[in-house]
Chains A and B, each alone.
Chain A
């Protein structure tokens, strides 16, 4: 596949580039799609390292005149790249002072007698964190050091990947995004969707209305993925079921005891991390308290400043392990994603998906399933949840009205899919951050993400057959339009 990936990518690029121009598609959008398709094939098949493909993509975007040099270079200064860099500084601090090791040992002694319980512990952790910290990138940064150490204890490192590592990283990735759909405050895009429903459909969605439908869906999906991931997608062999340290759990217990009481540096690290965490959790009060909002990257930046302070800090710059090659991968990937958004290619693709389907006269359940599926998988076309919400929700509400259905019955279930951006390493900020660990490939991410989305679609259909009509959200699944 590696051998054929290169010609396949170029062939796809040429095919898209020379297609007859579609109505409403600009020449730059067509070229941008061709460049992105080439990069996608190369990222999955890896004829070159992923960061080289990203550099090729950036060059192609320039020479096909999809984006200007400034626009392409700008992505390396984007908030997600900064957050990634700062996350690795904070993570290096936790590793250096051995706090990450202490927390990981504790977690494993409590829950990690079996690999699956360690995975479950992370799922439960994210269920608690999701309603408290809406910023998904912040949640990824927070849990990253713990994930890396726990993965290492089970034998998964950057150099030697294993299925436990894949399960751990990808379960975390999906938990971070999917569990954001538990509440309407889980992401800014959810609130935009609620606003659109209110202005366009004239119906209010209250906090508990969302929780009633969003929480069961997100939680059940993640429990299913916890099982499916380790039993079907990336089966964890017996030898990876227990910690990969010589001597097993006894050694973990001995090493945990040997760590002794908290050191001064560990206490400093706790204080710094708590400060960053507090800033992340209280962002809605910042304007009132400080007269300015300290965004997630800047809270991490403040933490990094303290971490690196001479004499009072706990880390020197040379000790910070920053994976620059993966930041380059992320920058290239984001440049490609932004090109799709800015040239209108993403919007055109989404509209074309709906425009090609005739839903007149079909039962509600068919319309509902099509809309849910398009909404769920359309995240592969754009890197922005907000863009997707602004494009899709008005179309769905207008379509519902035209077909004679209550707009809420289609718009709210569709809005629940907004946060499920799990298919590719560039689909969301947490994906970029977790991919930087180099513990799984683009193909692994795609496989796990697509199965998660499919489970979500199937559950939404099952809910539309049972739970949703019962609470009055949707009509009978087989009902015909009034």
Chain B
């Protein structure tokens, strides 16, 4: 009897929240030179209904969680986890139709150099670091537009996009991950529309310093000189 009652309550909460839509879910990641990052999240909800739901954030840590902008009565509670942390959002009975929420938190090692296991070869050269982001929409509401903007530390740039999922569909014209410069800083933008419950998206960026080694310059100049000397017979008309 109690079980049935609890099930009914949970079903009611879930179905009550099922009416809510997440119009936009934007995360901005400002990465510091040491690899830590500040995530600024802004969320636009439509058809607000009273209830509670857990919003996944797509990162492990949720340090220094701070609410920036919420309507009165709305309560945000951080729920850190070792793989995918989330934020519990309580919407009051008198919630308005459109709700805008904003919060920030810190991610300790967003940019990291993977250490190979003993006996394994390193897959990255010195100076390269990785940024990984995996997001699974674990709650019921569809996310109409999901965006993650990455702003890299100064004097760094993306070497390559190692992963960008899901693949772009036939009717999508923008790439899943687009590189750009944001307020003078190199970065990337991950974007996806219509994330239903269970849908996932991910990206992996390899980040390097924006200055290249002078080794190429020296090797190139040596090769040029060597060639010009060794192959000068190609233009030498003496003896012809």
Contact = CB atoms under 8 A, between A and B. Distances in A.
Interface stretch (A7-15, A93-101, A309-317): A7-15
A24 B181 contact: yes
B125 A6 contact: no
B209 to A, nearest CB: 9
B61 to A, nearest CB: 27
Interface string B134-147: 00000000000000
Interface string B145-164: 00000000000011111000
B178 A394 contact: no
Contacts of A7: 224, 227-228
A206 interface: no
Contacts of A427: none
A343 B223 CA distance: 27
Interface in A317-375: 343-344, 347
Given A7-B227, A199-B171, A26 B160 contact: yes
Contacts of A27: 157-160, 208, 210
Interface string B192-236: 000000000000000010101000110010011001100110110
Interface residues of B, number: 28
A24 B178 contact: yes
Contact of A26 (B161, B220, B224, B231): B161
B1 to A, nearest CB: 55
Interface in A171-205: 199-200
Nearest to A63: B216
Contact of B227 (A6, A17, A25, A394): A6
Given A21-B157, A26-B159, A27-B159, A10 B179 contact: no
Given A10-B224, A18-B212, A24-B180, A3 B157 contact: no
A243 B179 CA distance: 57
A394 B171 CA distance: 11
Nearest to A13: B220
A2 B235 CA distance: 9
B186 interface: yes
A contact residues, range: 20 to 34
B121 to A, nearest CB: 13
Contacts of B171: 199
A17 B234 contact: no
A28 interface: yes
A401 interface: no
B216 A14 contact: yes
Contacts of B234: 2-3
Interface string A367-396: 000000000000000000000001000100
Specify which of A2, A25, A27, A394 lies most central, judged by the most chain B CB atoms within 10 Å of its CB. Answer: A27
B173 interface: yes
A181 to B, nearest CB: 22
A13 B208 CA distance: 20
B90 to A, nearest CB: 40
A390 B173 contact: yes
Contacts of A18: 212, 216-217
Specify which of A2, A28, A343, A347 lies most central, judged by the most chain B CB atoms within 10 Å of its CB. Answer: A28
A18 B217 CA distance: 9
A30 B30 CA distance: 24
A65 interface: yes
Contacts of B173: 200, 390, 394
A23 B228 contact: no
Nearest to A25: B179
Given A24-B180, A26-B160, A343-B160, A6 B220 contact: no
Contact of B210 (A2, A21, A199, A394): A21
B224 A6 contact: yes
Interface string A21-60: 1011111110000000000000000010000000000000
B205 to A, nearest CB: 9
A39 to B, nearest CB: 14
A14 B232 CA distance: 22
Contacts of B212: 17-18
B217 A14 contact: yes
B125 A65 contact: yes
Nearest to B224: A7
B223 A65 contact: no
Given A3-B231, A24-B179, A10 B159 contact: no
Contact of A28 (B125, B160, B224): B160
Contacts of B232: 3
A9 B35 CA distance: 38
Nearest to A199: B171
A26 B157 contact: yes
Specify which of A17, A24, A25, A394 lies most central, judged by the most chain B CB atoms within 10 Å of its CB. Answer: A24
A129 B8 CA distance: 69
Contacts of A347: 175
Contact of B220 (A10, A21, A25, A390): A10
Contacts of B208: 27
Nearest to A2: B234
**Closest 4 pairs between A and B when the two form their complex, measured CB to CB:** A23-B181, A28-B160, A394-B173, A3-B234
Given A18-B217, A28-B159, 7 more contacts: A7-B224, A10-B223, A14-B220, A17-B216, A65-B160, A344-B161, A394-B173
15 contacts: A2-B234, A3-B234, A7-B224, A14-B220, A17-B216, A18-B212, A18-B217, A20-B210, A23-B179, A24-B178, A26-B157, A27-B208, A28-B160, A200-B173, A343-B160
